[in-house]
Chain A
Amino acid sequence: DADVTQTPRNRITKTGKRIMLECSQTKGHDRMYWYRQDPGLGLRLIYYSFDVKDINKGEISDGYSVSRQAQAKFSLSLESAIPNQTALYFCATSDSPGETQYFGPGTRLLVL
């Protein structure tokens, strides 16, 4: 079984809808991250969490919110989806800020 899982893997939604992307990990890491990937732009950090009670905004947090339900679970919500949020979304975990990040398989989101 994969160490970092994401659900759903693909999602099509309409403008204005609220959606949630979920991430679970079995690596036992405290730190979890949400990134989005767009062609030609690389990975950009949306939110990160260093433990259950710690949530921090990343580079592009506007229009997104997160919830850290447990050490192993970190969810990303789009309160009112818009077409420019169409992207590939990745969850990642690490043992500490300076350490390797382990990525999930990604969620491909299309907002119509």
Chain B
Amino acid sequence: EDQVTQSPEALRLQEGESSSLNCSYTVSGLRGLFWYRQDPGKGPEFLFTLYSAGEEKEKERLKATLTKKESFLHITAPKPEDSATYLCAVQASTGGFKTIFGAGTRLFVKA
């Protein structure tokens, strides 16, 4: 069964304390892995798409990496404005259109 698991459920960091969020997936052929950011009361906002193992993408303090079984979202020297829920989603390349979302990691960054 296709599945996406994100850990931890919640993460509390001090400003400047770097860390990583994990997204483990099981899918019958990976077409793409997506990271989104969701602020309270808003819809998810796209961050990155990764297509193959070994691929990396960066945006400001965020860097996403991908292996055959998991993806990491690395946050370097976070700021309070990075506080949000980060969602991971995978799309299978077989069985037609199917995007599966993880439950998300809630990140709190304290000044």
Contact = CB atoms under 8 A, between A and B. Distances in A.
A42 B101 contact: yes
Q: Is the interface of B mostly helix, strand, loop or mixed?
A: strand
A45 interface: yes
- Give the bracket for the number of chain A residues in contact with chain B: 20 to 34
B95 to A, nearest CB: 11
Contact of B43 (A4, A41, A45, A100): A4
Contact of B87 (A43, A48, A104, A105): A43
Interface of B: 4, 9, 31-32, 34, 36, 41-46, 49, 87, 89, 91, 97, 99, 101-104
Given A97-B91, A100-B46, 12 more contacts: A40-B9, A42-B4, A42-B102, A45-B99, A92-B43, A97-B97, A101-B34, A101-B46, A101-B99, A103-B44, A104-B43, A106-B42
**A-B complex: 9 closest residue pairs judged by Cβ atoms:** A103-B43, A43-B101, A42-B101, A42-B103, A97-B97, A100-B46, A103-B44, A105-B43, A104-B43
